[in-house]
Structure formats: structure tokens, C-alpha cells
Amino acid sequence: MSITKSCFGTMPDGRQVDKYTIRNSSGAYVEIITYGATLQSVYVPDRSGRISDVLIGFDDLEGHLKYSDYQGMTVGRCANRIANGRFTIDGVEYNVVKNVDGKLCLHGNGEFSHAVWDAEIRGDNSVALTYFSADGTFGFPGNVNAQVIYTFTDDNTVLINFSATSDKKTFINLTNHAYFNLRGDSQGDILGHVLKINAGRFTVTDSDSIPTGELRSVKGTPFDFTAPKAIGRDIGADYDQLIMCKGYDHNFCLDEHDANEPVIFVTEPESGRTMEVFTNLPGVQLYCGNFLDNIPGKGGTVMNKHSGFCLETQFYPDSPNHPDFPQFILEPNVMFTTSTSFRFSVI
């Protein structure tokens, strides 16, 4: 195992963005950049042993700054959506930024994603990134210290550990927004990828992708991934939830599970690459790049609809306004921790 550090680019204000490369004993490697605490690349082998990148995104900092749809970024303070940009804690109403059509808060206005994080190498296979978010930023309460630790192992597992503390009671929901394409090197679409999600329900949303509160059974719907099926099999079905979002962009309520056992399985038949997802979180947002449109990507490729898929492990969207959903309230001076890992192999 080894870690190297290099310059990835320079921000408009002159701050340097660094890149850390973690390489394992087989030659597979991942790249992390300090802008957005971003998982920049994941190079793993296919069934013939050819190593290529299974993340779509950008080759340089300019791409992230000009075109990003959160490719590979850490998302927070609150990933996903908060209805009306409003929630209540202990009887106090907080109004946060409404960065989508003046209607709702999405991904905490990208605060964590567009920051340059501090970084520190830990051992020979981990990088820890830290960021401070001041009380009142975009309306969120509490001085928050956040940390993301990326670890890459010899069995081609990317482990992401999130943690945070606050001096006031606040909401926190951190995730990674990587777009995967297991074909490698951003080739083709992801509709032929075979997906299994251990989730018997999903959160029904309105036309603004805000949960209505209904947790609908996947049985008999296009959202049933309890048995493996191609992502593209039902993505164009005549079903209201798919029509509104132009495909899958929904939270799946993961069945009760052990964090040491995979809850999501993905296979790309042509390359033979597989990915297993482990998490201690209750939900995952499946997003299939429905709104990617002619975005310049890695190696001269172009990101279009269904070029990649996201599996954003999370608490459910708009949980602060749905007390019956699993909650992510952070008490003062209590450590918040979650973990998610992606294990790559071949068949």
C-alpha cells in the first residue's frame, strides 16, 4: 500500500487543491481531492485484469467548478432535500437556504461539496479530510466540525467514514455523491447494470421530489430490486414516480441489516465487475443521472442521461419534517458517525 500527494489545481482565490492517490498491492488505486472531499477516481480491474476508472466525472478542477452535478463529492450538512427550507428543533424554527427554485434546500446548498477541505495522510492506506462549518451558515444551527476518512484496502474496498460534532443541536446527513459506471473509463450507459437492493419500501415523492410521507411497498412496482434486474428494465415504465423524475431518483428504505453484510449488489455483465455496498445507514438514494446533458467528462467523454448511477447512502430525505422517519439529530458535543463501503470484485 502507498499514498502519494500531488497538486490537482488552484481555486480562483488562489487556494491549492490537492490530490491523494492510494494504491494497493495489486496496483488498483483511488484518487481523492480536497475540493469537496471528493472521491475523484476508482481504478479497479475487470475480469481480464484490465484496470480502469469506474467513476464518471472530470479530469481537472475546472470541470468540477464549471459543470459539477456533485460528481464524487461529499454532500452536507444535510444531503438530499428539506421541504420549504424549514425545520424545527425544540420548538425553534430554522429557515435555511432554498437553493432550488426558491422552494427547498438541496444538499445544504452544496456547502461541503464546494469547500476546500484540510487533509492528512493516515498510515499507508487512509486520508482524513476535515472541514469547519460555522453556526448559521445557510441558516443551519451549530458550529460543526466534520470529517471524512477514505480508506482503500487490498481487497479493493473503498471505505468512507463520516463523523461530525456540533456545539448546538442540529441536523446532519452526510453522503458521498459518486456516479458509478462499472464498464470503466466512462464508456456507454448504465442501463445494463444488474442491481439488487435489499429494500422492501421506498419513499414516495411529490413533483418537487419531496417525500409525501408514504413508504410504499416495492412489490409489484418498477421499484422492486429485491431480486437482481437490469437498471434499464423498468426505468421507462408508465409509472407516476418514474415519469416525474425521468427515471429513478428515489430513496430506498433499506431492510434491517447488519453493517458487516452487503445490502446492495451491482454487476456489469460485459466487464464482469461487481460492487457490493455496506452501510450502517437506513436509506439509499438511487439516482441514474436522469438530468445529465452533454457535460464534458473524463478523457474526452461526454456525460449524458444514464451515463452513471449514484447510490447515496443516507437518512431519508426531509427527515426533519417527518418525525416517523429515522432521525439524524445531532446532540451538542456528541459524535455523529456513519460508514459506507464499496467492495469491487469480478465474476
CB under 8 Å to 309, separation ≥6 — which residues? Answer: 179, 180, 181, 190, 193, 195, 231, 286, 287, 288, 289
Percent of the chain's residues with pLDDT above 90: 100
Average confidence (pLDDT) over 235-263: 97
pLDDT band at 6 (very low <50, low <70, confident <90, very high): very high
Helix (H, G, I), strand (E, B) or coil at 285: strand
pLDDT band at 95 (very low <50, low <70, confident <90, very high): very high
pLDDT band at 292 (very low <50, low <70, confident <90, very high): very high
pLDDT band at 313 (very low <50, low <70, confident <90, very high): very high
The residues annotated with a catalytic role in the active site are 177, 312
CB–CB of 173/328 below 8 Å?
Answer: yes
pLDDT at residue 30 in the model = 99
Average confidence (pLDDT) over 212-228: 98
- The per-residue pLDDT of the chain, averaged, comes to 98
pLDDT band at 177 (very low <50, low <70, confident <90, very high): very high
Distances (CA, A) of 109 to 11, 151, 167, 179, 261: 19, 27, 21, 19, 33
Q: What is the DSSP letter of 150?
A: E
Strands 211-217, 199-205: parallel, antiparallel or unpaired by DSSP?
antiparallel
Domain ranges of the chain: 2-346
CB–CB of 90/79 below 8 Å?
Answer: no
Architecture of the domain whose range is 2-346 = Distorted Sandwich (2.70)
- pTM for this predicted structure: 0.98
Strands 310-314, 283-287: parallel, antiparallel or unpaired by DSSP?
antiparallel
pLDDT tens digits, 99-141:
999 999 999 999 999 999 999 999 999 999 999 999 999 999 9
Average confidence (pLDDT) over 305-327: 97
Amino acid at 171: F
pLDDT tens digits, 31-45:
999 999 999 999 999
CB under 8 Å to 103, separation ≥6 — which residues? Answer: 84, 85, 208
pLDDT band at 220 (very low <50, low <70, confident <90, very high): very high
C-alpha cell belonging to residue 213: 410521507
The size of the chain, in residues, is 347
pLDDT at residue 62 in the model = 98
- Largest pairwise CA distance in the chain: 59
